């Protein structure tokens, strides 16, 4: 892990909310102590230090609301917050030696923030710093034996809080990553899901062309297995699944132009998004795919070769459509042309007025909702 990654929060929005809550909680505890202050400070500057600390807590609580979160991350503010908090608490105890009761809960707040929002090494450093500060003022107001016993109790509590909270957050992150992977990757083929494919396509369609016109558009290639129902009926659904996995591998190895995003729309329909790819290149890649599938049969468990073929439809933005919905309609129309022409081939989208898909594409758009 790089130094920059080490100092970044797990999640900026979560760090902003948690830091604000903890700083407000610290301010409330400090204000309650100052209002019922049991003993005077050791110096005349004590009230100034205390009220300055209170103002600082409130200021830090509002910081994420006035400064962009990305800037706070770039400036490494998030790991700085708990360090400053521990140091400020140490300064408060220096002028209010009897503030032991408030110091303990206040020191737990930076530890809570670091363990829940920052990386493990940073959380460990903040926890160690809090224990050292706590030990310093315990040794200053108690005899050594009593101070060490109290420090042991407090240190164990802080360490346990930090470890359990960090482990809980880490387990949650693992679960979130698993759910994200499940949402983005088709379990059978290992290709992108419809949701991930739509996001990639929408992102490609909103890319602003460069001043030199280098952006050559985005192509959507739809792939449908010919006679897939017959394969399932004749050989069973497990062989149908094997055929889809087989085709996914052919797609991955064949289609490389245009930084492809390859996904499964559902059933036996696969799709490829080709960014910065002219329609002529997309059509060539689609034809290459048809030939590759034709030349690569699926071998069954009994050794027999099962020939496969696909029909492929190609649509291009802005050649055939402008938006996500229109591009899917145009690619569907092209796929329909390939099937009507005899299957086992690739076709481009029909062109209507102003370059948009013709009646077939419009009809398919209506059929797909």
Domains (ranges, CATH) in the chain? 3-184 (no CATH), 194-368 (3.30.70.270)
Q: What is the mean pLDDT of the chain?
A: 85
- 191/246 Cα distance (integer angstroms): 12
- Of 127-131, 209-213, 255-259, 345-349, give the lowest mean pLDDT range: 209-213
Per-residue confidence band for 361, with pLDDT thresholds at 50, 70 and 90: very low
Determine the length of the chain.
369
Statement: residue 237 has pLDDT above 60: yes
- 26/34 Cα distance (integer angstroms): 12
Statement: residue 97 has pLDDT above 70: yes
- 179/189 Cα distance (integer angstroms): 17
Q: What is the predicted pLDDT for the residue at 88?
A: 86
Statement: residue 299 has pLDDT above 60: yes
Burial of 106 (0-12, 13-18, 19+ CB in 10 A): buried
Judge whether 110 and 158 are in contact, CB under 8 Å: no
* Residue whose structure tokens are 């064949």: 254
Per-residue confidence band for 368, with pLDDT thresholds at 50, 70 and 90: very low
Statement: residue 267 has pLDDT above 50: yes
Q: What is the predicted pLDDT for the residue at 38?
A: 62
Closest CA to 358 of 317, 306, 321: 321
Statement: residue 135 has pLDDT above 80: yes
Statement: residue 213 has pLDDT above 60: no
């Amino acid at each position: 892990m790089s130094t920059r990654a080490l100092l970044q929060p797990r999640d900026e929005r979560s760090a902003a909310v948690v830091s604000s809550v903890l700083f407000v909680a610290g301010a409330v505890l400090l204000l309650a102590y100052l209002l019922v202050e049991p003993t005077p400070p050791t110096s005349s500057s004590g009230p100034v230090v205390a009220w300055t600390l209170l103002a600082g807590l409130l200021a830090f609580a509002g910081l994420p609301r006035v400064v962009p979160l990305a800037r706070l991350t770039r400036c490494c503010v998030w790991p700085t917050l708990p360090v400053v908090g521990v140091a400020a608490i140490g300064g408060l105890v220096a002028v209010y030696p009897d503030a032991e009761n408030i110091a303990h809960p206040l020191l737990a707040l930076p530890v809570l923030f670091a363990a829940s929002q920052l990386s493990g090494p940073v959380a460990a450093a903040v926890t160690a710093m809090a224990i050292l500060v706590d030990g310093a003022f315990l040794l200053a107001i108690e005899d050594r034996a009593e101070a060490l016993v109290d420090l042991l109790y407090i240190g164990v509590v802080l360490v346990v809080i930090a470890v359990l909270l960090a482990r809980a957050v880490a387990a949650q992150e693992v679960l979130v990553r698993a759910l994200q992977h499940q949402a983005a990757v088709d379990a059978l083929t290992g290709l992108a899901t419809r949701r991930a494919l739509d996001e990639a396509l929408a992102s490609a369609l909103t890319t602003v062309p460069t001043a030199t016109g280098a952006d050559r558009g985005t192509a959507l290639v739809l792939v449908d297995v010919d006679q897939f129902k017959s394969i399932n009926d004749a050989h069973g659904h497990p062989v149908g699944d094997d055929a889809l996995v087989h085709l996914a591998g052919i797609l991955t190895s064949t289609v490389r132009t245009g930084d492809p995003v390859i996904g499964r729309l559902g059933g036996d329909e696969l799709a490829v998004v080709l960014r910065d790819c002219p329609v002529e290149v997309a059509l060539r890649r689609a034809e290459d795919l048809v030939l590759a599938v034709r030349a690569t049969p699926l071998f069954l468990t009994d050794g027999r070769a099962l020939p496969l073929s696909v029909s492929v439809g190609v649509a291009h933005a802005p050649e055939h459509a402008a938006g996500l919905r229109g591009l899917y309609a145009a690619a569907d129309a092209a796929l329909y042309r390939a099937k009507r022409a005899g299957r086992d081939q690739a076709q481009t989208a029909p062109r209507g007025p102003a370059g948009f898909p013709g009646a077939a594409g419009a009809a398919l758009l209506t059929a797909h909702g």
